[in-house]
Structure 1
Amino acid sequence: MSPQKKSEEFYKKLRGQLYETTNWPSEYLYKFIVPTDANKIKQIEDLFNNLGAVITTKESGKGTYTSVSVNLQMKDPDAVIAKYKEVANSVEGVISL
């Protein structure tokens, strides 16, 4: 199975789970892991800038990776997924959790 098809199936499943478990609009917590690099962290922060997001970061024990948590109000699962895709397409090496 191609990575693109696998990705689309993942997002389809996520969309269904979000509709079933949450009343929208709702707060949503994004979690990303990136190699510790100020530019990559700033790229993620910039994608959520001016949206009222609360962003926290935490370096791993060895300082190799940084966890970026973003909490903000989202209107529906499609908006949540659109932001995941935007981050994945904009920040090289990012892992979405």
Structure 2
Amino acid sequence: MDENNPVEFYKKLKEQLTETSKWPSNYLYKFIVETETDKIDRINTIFDNMGAVIDLKKSKNGKYTSVSIRVDLASPDEVIAKYKEVGAIEGVISL
């Protein structure tokens, strides 16, 4: 994400999602977080009760965890809203 201009980043993302997907759609999020923190639980809470499938995979040395989340969403706006919620968690890297 362009941290210098998040408004422009999300505007461009919305355009891309609108052009490349039919909505509602199944969307895949990918995040990287430090393993030994409460951040994974916080991410899980954001996607709780949405029917999301969450897959965790630790890095080779176990310091980081890849969090993949597949979830059905109604629109690009919903995708962006979830990115913003997760983005509020310090230290989470969105891929």
- The alignment status of 1:13 with 2:21, answered yes or no, reads no
TM superposition outliers: structure 1 runs of 4+ over 2 Å: none
Query: What's the % identity of the aligned pairs?
Result: 57
**Alignment match, 1:41:** 40
Distance 1:38 1:56 in 2: 17
Please, what TM-score do these two structures have when normalized by structure 2? Answer: 0.93
Distance 1:63 1:10 in 2: 31
Mapping for residues 1-97 of structure 1, pairs under 5 Å: 3=3, 5-89=4-88, 91-97=89-95
Unaligned runs of 5+ in 1: none
Q: CA RMSD in A?
A: 1.4
What amino acid does structure 1 have at the position aligned with 2:72? Q
Please, what TM-score do these two structures have when normalized by structure 1? Answer: 0.91
The structure with the largest helix share of the pair is: 1
